[in-house]
Structure 1
Amino acid sequence: MIDWFSLTRIPPEDEALRAPVRSFLRDALGYRAPAKAARSWLGFDASFSRELAEQGWVGLTLPKEYGGGGRSPFARFVLVEELLAVGAPVSAHWIADRQSGPLIARYGTREQRAFYLPRICAADAFFCIGLSEPSAGSDLASIRTRALRTSTGWRLSGRKIWTTNADKSHYMIALVRTSGTADDRHRGLSQLFIDLSLPGVSIAPIEDIAGDRHFSEVTFDDVELSHDALIGTEGAGWEQVTAELAFERSGPERIYSSVVLLEAWLRMLRVANCAGQEVSSSERRALGALVTELAALRELSLSLTGRLARGESPVTEAALVKDLGTSFEQSVPTVIGDLLGARPLQGIESSLADALAYVTKIAPSYSLRGGTREILRGMIARGLGLR
């Protein structure tokens, strides 16, 4: 495991991006209440995404010839840190920027790259990913959604579930079975582009416990796709989607989902301290432990960014950091909630209470999205040669 991670620093030219991004965010967003800011990468705001694209910050790592920034993954790391720190509403362009765009740049044909990538970089094309199914969940190898070859392309039938922003997206990249049966597991899987406006596509939003409707169930009823809907190589979908998930699992968003709540709590402690109120030893110890763990996770995420910058695909390492990161993210509302319960007579600002209520409700999903904890630990075990 020593070879998996190494201390990595953000190059100066990428660190220099931080100041202009902060300035832009101050002007574009101003103050955001913690409960609203905590929805950051589930906050869908197409106009904000287009403003960000006008700065050249959507598709930051994509090739310049397609409208991208041509920057390294370190530049995107800086950008994502700043966006999440203020709770910017990034959901509209998030999946296209983070994984669909890099996937297309790596596996797409020249025509596919020329069509999709400029639209992604301009925040004119929003993507969702079709992975989980009602009968399969996180066991992607057993999916049953099927695409059959026809004289004009493909005929698609099946269902996908927990599909983030499907009802607001233009396209889906779906993992489907193009040959064999579910018993064939990894063999016979391919990835397809799906225009979600096509006849036969039905999208039903799902409301979560926090009252948001960012998930959807998508049904395909004999949807006709053209030949060029296939991305990459037929039958190589498992390898392609595994590489794609390394992008999804390795970024700072997998450690910062609760950072707005942590910042709001820290602000309360500072105010209390300045007002002469006692900050207990329990609160100090908890704050120190949370910040220390966050710093260590950031170093791990930076190490993965370095490997992505070298063109590697750290699949197992990304699964490990995602598992550790989501465990941290889920601990934040629990720790803070318990400590706030110890000072009920002093009162809690409503903005902090609202943020805590929201993050507490949504935190269980952190270890589901991007692969469940059980699936990830199975991958880690295989990577270590333990199974």
Structure 2
Amino acid sequence: MIDVRTAVRRAAAEELRARVRAFAEREMASSGADAHCDAWMTSYSAEFSRALGARGWAGMTIPAEYGGPGRTSMERYVVIEELLAAGAPVALHWFADRQVGPALLRHGSPAQRRRYLPGIARGECYFAIGMSEPDSGSDLAAVRTRARRDGGGWRLEGAKTWSSHAHLAHHMLVLARTDPAEDRRAGLSQFLVDLRLDGVQIRPITTQDGRRHFNEVVFDGVRLDDGCLLGTRGQGWSQVMAELALERSGPERFLSTMPLLRCLLRRTEARPKELGVLLAELRSIRAMSQSVAEALGRGETPTVAAAVVKDLGTRFEGKVVELARDLLPVVPDLASGDEYARLLAEAVVHSPDRTLRGGTNEILRGIVARTAAGA
């Protein structure tokens, strides 16, 4: 039996959901923005991000003392679910909202919080993420980027790759080696790096559709002051693990193809059992993702559960593409005026990277296995 408080929360969540849905439809229609698959990586609009911030729908868990609305993690979940389902242009503020804001709240100094959080809450401060490195695959511990002490600050040398929208971002959160250690996961630290500093080079990586959102970012002796160190020196690995729980467990891991699935449902009169099975699987993954969001809201770091969500979610998205091609076969065409053909093309183009970004599914299964074995 549902108690009164639960019923009130659910009613408030549905009211919020309806407002966000109406907002996205209205704003996208007025600006002429199309729905896109993988919109959180590829589709952006500074005006849309600012409009979200003005309504308190960016940086939602940032408390009022730092310029945020101070909403709950589940309220944020409702908002991003609707934005993903709409295929809305959210990529500019996405990484600051998803990872950097929570990292600053956990590990940032008061000065760092005052500097960055208000802009994140306004949807006006953009961050790129600097974890992966060239020639390292999903081995995050293979960090060769180094930050060395230099007088009263640091010198940053190295490179990061697959950094989405670094060419449009103001800052990057960078994982670097600061101390030698036998354990590769030790001796790592995080830095908040202004991408306009001397010595920063941002090189485009063009995807197979001819578009650019990935980049390689090279740091050639970039001078950082002590205020750029996030958290505790040498604790970068544990800090990053908390961020990866946020990155891997969110609804973007199973709703990136939702615009395609919605379009398919609108055009498919007969509903075969395969479609029902797929929707049931979606419901299960969503429930698991929500439980992780609740745990994160309590300050926990559910690394294993987040890995499972990411593994299941990205495989689900592959099934969406396969079923769409079976049920309503058309020639995928990124330039098509037909919404379904365009969305199918977008989903197909990004199919290879869904099980790679955020850590390959094999790496994630290794995390689950090691934890189960007590390793």
- TM-score band, normalised by the shorter chain? over 0.9
Q: Distance in 2 between matches of 1:164 and 1:369?
A: 11
Give the alignment of 1:239-250 within 5 angstroms.
239-250=238-249
Q: TM-score, normalized by length of structure 2?
A: 0.92
DSSP 3-state at the match of 2:287: helix
2:230 maps to what in 1?
Answer: 231
What is the one-letter code of the residue matched to 1:236?
Q
1:205 maps to what in 2?
Answer: 204
2:46 maps to what in 1?
Answer: 46
Shift of 1:33: 9.2
DSSP 3-state at the match of 2:357: coil
1:113 maps to what in 2?
Answer: 113
Give the alignment of 1:266-277 within 5 angstroms.
266-269=265-268, 273=269
Give the alignment of 1:180-329 within 5 angstroms.
180=180, 184-269=183-268, 273=269, 279=270, 284-329=272-317
2:3 maps to what in 1?
Answer: none
Unaligned runs of 5+ residues in structure 1 are 1-7, 274-278
1:102 maps to what in 2?
Answer: 102
Q: Distance in 2 between matches of 1:163 and 1:56?
A: 27
Q: Distance in 2 between matches of 1:35 and 1:372?
A: 30
Match of 1:338 among 326, 346, 355: 326
Provide the identity percentage.
Answer: 47
* Residues 35 and 259 in structure 2, CA contact (< 8 A), matched pair in contact too: no
What is the one-letter code of the residue matched to 2:277?
A
DSSP 3-state at the match of 2:94: helix
Shift of 1:310: 2.0
Q: 1:9 to 1:225 in 2, by over 3 A?
A: farther
DSSP 3-state at the match of 1:215: strand
* Residues 174 and 190 in structure 2, CA contact (< 8 A), matched pair in contact too: yes
Q: Is 1:138–2:138 an aligned residue pair?
A: yes
Shift of 1:140: 0.9
1:75 maps to what in 2?
Answer: 75
Q: Distance in 2 between matches of 1:18 and 1:316?
A: 29
Residues 75-106 of structure 1, C-alpha deviation per residue, up to 9 Å, x if partnerless? 01100111111111010110001110000011
DSSP 3-state at the match of 2:352: helix
Unaligned runs of 5+ residues in structure 2 are 1-6
Give the alignment of 1:160-199 within 5 angstroms.
160-180=160-180, 184-199=183-198
Q: Distance in 1 between matches of 2:87 and 2:114?
A: 32
Residues 213-272 of structure 1, C-alpha deviation per residue, up to 9 Å, x if partnerless? 000000000000111110000000000000011111111111101111111111111xxx
* Residues 246 and 315 in structure 1, CA contact (< 8 A), matched pair in contact too: yes
1:4 maps to what in 2?
Answer: none
* Residues 189 and 234 in structure 2, CA contact (< 8 A), matched pair in contact too: yes
* Residues 34 and 352 in structure 1, CA contact (< 8 A), matched pair in contact too: no
1:276 maps to what in 2?
Answer: none
2:342 maps to what in 1?
Answer: 354
Q: Distance in 2 between matches of 1:105 and 1:238?
A: 17
Shift of 1:125: 1.1
Residues 35-64 of structure 1, C-alpha deviation per residue, up to 9 Å, x if partnerless? 742242121211110011111111111111
Q: Distance in 1 between matches of 2:276 and 2:290?
A: 21
DSSP 3-state at the match of 2:175: strand
1:16 maps to what in 2?
Answer: 15
Q: TM-score, normalized by length of structure 1?
A: 0.89
Q: Distance in 2 between matches of 1:108 and 1:381?
A: 32
What is the one-letter code of the residue matched to 1:207?
T
Q: 1:178 to 1:342 in 2, by over 3 A?
A: closer
Q: Distance in 1 between matches of 2:322 and 2:285?
A: 19
Q: Distance in 1 between matches of 2:199 and 2:374?
A: 44
Q: Distance in 2 between matches of 1:204 and 1:43?
A: 19
Q: Distance in 1 between matches of 2:180 and 2:97?
A: 32
* Residues 193 and 229 in structure 1, CA contact (< 8 A), matched pair in contact too: yes
1:123 maps to what in 2?
Answer: 123
Q: Distance in 1 between matches of 2:186 and 2:330?
A: 55
- Specify which structure has the bigger relative contact order, considering alpha-carbon pairs within 8 angstroms and separated by 6 or more residues: 1
1:3 maps to what in 2?
Answer: none
Q: Distance in 2 between matches of 1:174 and 1:230?
A: 10
